[in-house]
Amino acid sequence: MPESSRLSGLQQRRLAWLVLAAIVCLPYLVSLDGPFVYDDKVEVSGNRAIRVFENWRAVLGYNISRPLLVLSYAFDWQRAGLDPRSYHITSLFLHVLTLGGAIFLADALGRLFGLTRPLLRATLATALWALHPMGAESVAYVTGRSEVLCAGFVFLSLGAHVEALLAERRGGWSVGWRALALVGFAAGALSKEVAVMVPFAQVVLEMAAGGSWRKVRWQGFLPVAMLVTGAAGLRWSTLPEGATLAELIPHEVERSLAEQLTTSAEVWLHYARLWVLPLGQTLFHDQPVVSPSEIRGLGAIAGWGLMVAGAGLVYRRSPLAGALLACAGLFLIPSTSIARLKEPMAEHRAYQTGFYLLFAAISVIPDRWGADRRVQGAACALLVALGLSTAYRASVWSSEVSLWREAVARTPDSADAWFGLGDAHRFASDCTAAAPAYSRALELADSGRRVSVARRLDAMNNLGICRAQLGDATAARRAWLRALELRPSYCRAHTNLGSLAYRQRNWEAAMVELRSALAYCPNNPTAHWLVGNLYYGPLRDPQKALVHYQALVQIAPQFDFAPEAKERILELTW
């Protein structure tokens, strides 16, 4: 191919990317001022590791499986502290970069499989995917950045692999492309574990292009195998002595393998439906665990089987479309079928999957449709509709309260959803609205709805906090005592009862509750602070006060009252 033609194709891809990037940014502008929500409060705003950017070991060591993701959070912290806008801008910027990777991959696949107008098809598929509201959770939710960052590197790796196949088909030099594919794979794996499926996707695409597994150049995967082996060995070395291989896989809850796979089958069907028809989206789907012995479970397995069989039929007619459908499933496996996560379903986990599904559909569109003005008009209308839907989804993500109101509207019988709404109101300093939400969560829990003991305890505790803030000390005490009836060792309730008694100057009752809190949770900084204050003040025992202040500073040096505790240590010591 002449050099001028190659450069022209590159320029066309860049132009398509820039135009699409400008369009895709528009629906997300409304979400840029959104707060940290849900897991953001643990992984981002509550993550003290990202606040020491100069100490790269602390940053990279926070989550050894996702160091590039944590590094991106640390970069935002260095720029803007805990201003959420900076984090949202970075996530949107990464989404725009990922669009470039998607166009690169789709165009390369189109050329490899001989599609007509490959760049046009690649741009249309990427536009549908980038403007689809199912991507909103990955872009507007800061914690969802892991999917965006990972997808960008995965698309780069797969695209470079396809370019290597094209170069080899022409008899050219492919080492540079294969090296880039390896780098993309490594970077994706350092962003999120989902990228481990890249070699399998490369094999699937290569088989589809060659028509048989015998045509796969297996020697080209030797560097990948060496990289995976080395990474697995490094990860294994970080596990405690006596650990098993199973501990390399996330395991948040106990769930049988049969239940895990059946639940995953239903989740896959939900994801596919939402990418086809994005109705009923929500932050919290409250997906139940499904047993294969249930009618619902049998239906999920049958539906999944039909979906896989359908993909097989598609492969016969169009190897590229079939391979893309296989990739859509491959990148769901780590987060749905292997890892036993507390929440079986979350929309951001299907971020990559949507691209493969939509490009599979675009790849089989007949050529004659491209010249049909009615089809062109319908495509434009669809893109506009998707963009407006995404703008609406982004507006929902601009407020934590609106997110949980939507979740409650979608799942009104979910105690977890009502608890989330209560927390959202409480974080917004609106306990007047939070208390009824917590009460409703407890009503649903008492009526036998599926909810964990931990969630019931937290609902009782937070209800007590809101009652106390609203000035109803009796109702607050009743809520905390109810929690202790359920679990006598629940430290938060003991601490709050002690704090309430402390504010009411009931020193004896305060000491009893705070001592109980420390008996069950010896590293409770709040309890140490209040017990230290009791000994420092009304009980007049400086030596015991010193013990608790020193424990506080050692346990939680970042605690809000740690500076005051240090001052009192100096006072009592000197």
HEC letters along 58-118: HHHHCCCCCHHHHHHHHHHHHHHCCCHHHHHHHHHHHHHHHHHHHHHHHHHHHHHCCCCCH
Q: Using the 3D structure, point to which of 428, 452, 487 is the last residue of a domain.
A: 487
The identity of residue 276, as a single letter, is: V
Average the pLDDT over 237-258 and give the result.
Answer: 65
Average the pLDDT over 257-266 and give the result.
Answer: 92
Collapsing DSSP states into helix, strand and coil, what is residue 251? strand
Task: Look up residue 248 and give its two tokens.
Answer: 């390399």
Is residue 64 situated within a structural domain?
no
Inform me whether the pLDDT recorded for 383 exceeds 50: yes
Q: Tokens 């009652």 label which residue?
A: 467
Is residue 12 situated within a structural domain?
no
pTM of this prediction?
A: 0.89
Average the pLDDT over 363-386 and give the result.
Answer: 87
The residue among 425, 386, 379 whose CA lies nearest residue 402 is 425
The identity of residue 309, as a single letter, is: A
Residue 535 CB contacts under 8 Å (≥ 6 apart), including other chains: 541, 542, 544, 545, 548
Secondary structure (DSSP) of 278-297: --S--S---PPP--TTSHHH
The identity of residue 486, as a single letter, is: L
Report for 23-27, 59-63, 567-571: range of highest mean pLDDT: 23-27
Collapsing DSSP states into helix, strand and coil, what is residue 320? helix
pLDDT at 4: 44
Inform me whether the pLDDT recorded for 476 exceeds 80: yes
Average the pLDDT over 441-459 and give the result.
Answer: 87
The residue among 434, 477, 482, 440 whose CA lies nearest residue 457 is 482
Report for 54-68, 144-158, 328-342, 535-549: range of highest mean pLDDT: 144-158
pLDDT at 233: 62
- H/E stretch holding 165: helix 145-169
Is residue 9 situated within a structural domain?
no
pLDDT band with cut points at 50, 70 and 90 for residue 3? very low
Average the pLDDT over 269-297 and give the result.
Answer: 93
Give dist(CA 253, CA 267) in Å, integer: 17
pLDDT at 105: 97
Is residue 87 situated within a structural domain?
yes
Average the pLDDT over 531-557 and give the result.
Answer: 91
Identify whether residues 574 and 469 lie together within a single domain: no
Task: Look up residue 173 and give its two tokens.
Answer: 């030099």
Q: When comparing pLDDT for 520 and 572, which is higher?
A: 520
Identify whether residues 381 and 405 lie together within a single domain: no
Q: When comparing pLDDT for 61 and 571, which is higher?
A: 571
Q: How many domains does the chain have?
A: 3
Q: Using the 3D structure, point to which of 459, 487, 515 is the last residue of a domain.
A: 487
Looking at the chain, how many residues does it have?
574
Identify whether residues 40 and 108 lie together within a single domain: yes
Q: If you average pLDDT over every residue of the chain, what do you get? A: 89
% of the chain beyond a pLDDT of 70: 92
Domain of 415?
Answer: 399-487
Task: Look up residue 525 and give its two tokens.
Answer: 């900084």
pLDDT at 211: 75
The identity of residue 518, as a single letter, is: L
Answer whether 182's CB lies under 8 Å from 227's CB: yes
Report for 162-166, 236-240, 364-368, 453-457: range of highest mean pLDDT: 162-166
Give dist(CA 420, CA 459) in Å, integer: 9
Q: Using the 3D structure, point to which of 396, 431, 450 is the last residue of a domain.
A: 396
pLDDT band with cut points at 50, 70 and 90 for residue 521? very high
Identify whether residues 435 and 520 lie together within a single domain: no
CATH number at residue 558: 1.25.40.10
Inform me whether the pLDDT recorded for 373 exceeds 90: no
pLDDT band with cut points at 50, 70 and 90 for residue 556? confident
Collapsing DSSP states into helix, strand and coil, what is residue 338? helix
Instruction: State the chain's maximal CA–CA distance in angstroms.
Output: 90
Average the pLDDT over 439-461 and give the result.
Answer: 88
Query: What b/e sequence results for 505-528 when a residue is b if at least 16 CB atoms lie within 10 Å of its CB, and e otherwise?
Result: eeeeebbebbebbbeebeebbbbb
Q: Where are the alpha helices (DSSP H) in 217-294?
A: 222-237, 257-276
The residue among 413, 465, 461 whose CA lies nearest residue 441 is 413
Answer whether 387's CB lies under 8 Å from 128's CB: no
Identify whether residues 230 and 302 lie together within a single domain: yes
Inform me whether the pLDDT recorded for 390 exceeds 90: yes
Identify whether residues 187 and 315 lie together within a single domain: yes
Q: Tokens 């190659």 label which residue?
A: 6
Identify whether residues 512 and 474 lie together within a single domain: no
- Range from 5-9, 317-321, 441-445, 517-521 carrying the lowest mean pLDDT: 5-9
Identify whether residues 459 and 369 lie together within a single domain: no
Secondary structure (DSSP) of 293-306: TSHHHHHHHHHHHH
Q: When comparing pLDDT for 375 and 419, which is higher?
A: 419
Average the pLDDT over 227-236 and give the result.
Answer: 64
Give dist(CA 478, CA 562) in Å, integer: 31
Note the Cα 25 to chain centre separation in Å. Answer: 21
* Beta-carbon count within 10 A of 368 CB: 8
pLDDT band with cut points at 50, 70 and 90 for residue 251? low
Provide the β-strand partners of residue 340.
251
pLDDT at 192: 92
Is residue 7 situated within a structural domain?
no
The residue among 147, 162, 149 whose CA lies nearest residue 105 is 162
Using CB atoms within 10 A of its CB, is residue 447 exposed (0-12), middle (13-18) or buried (19+)?
A: exposed
Is residue 107 situated within a structural domain?
yes
Inform me whether the pLDDT recorded for 9 exceeds 80: no
Average the pLDDT over 194-199 and give the result.
Answer: 92
Using CB atoms within 10 A of its CB, is residue 152 exposed (0-12), middle (13-18) or buried (19+)?
A: buried
pLDDT at 509: 93
% of the chain beyond a pLDDT of 90: 67
The identity of residue 399, as a single letter, is: S
Provide the β-strand partners of residue 251.
340
Angle at 460 between CA 459 and CA 465, to 5 degrees: 95
Task: Look up residue 572 and give its two tokens.
Answer: 């009592």
- Range from 88-92, 226-230, 399-403 carrying the lowest mean pLDDT: 226-230
DSSP state of 331: T
pLDDT band with cut points at 50, 70 and 90 for residue 242? low
Is residue 542 situated within a structural domain?
yes
- Range from 21-25, 62-66, 128-132 carrying the lowest mean pLDDT: 62-66
Identify whether residues 37 and 89 lie together within a single domain: yes
Residue 123 CB contacts under 8 Å (≥ 6 apart), including other chains: 16, 20, 103
Using CB atoms within 10 A of its CB, is residue 574 exposed (0-12), middle (13-18) or buried (19+)?
A: exposed
Q: Where are the alpha helices (DSSP H) in 295-372?
A: 295-317, 319-330, 351-363
Q: When comparing pLDDT for 229 and 475, which is higher?
A: 475
Collapsing DSSP states into helix, strand and coil, what is residue 340? strand
Is residue 110 situated within a structural domain?
yes
Identify whether residues 403 and 392 lie together within a single domain: no
pLDDT band with cut points at 50, 70 and 90 for residue 216? confident
Identify whether residues 376 and 431 lie together within a single domain: no
Inform me whether the pLDDT recorded for 208 exceeds 70: yes
The identity of residue 490, as a single letter, is: Y
Identify whether residues 40 and 155 lie together within a single domain: yes
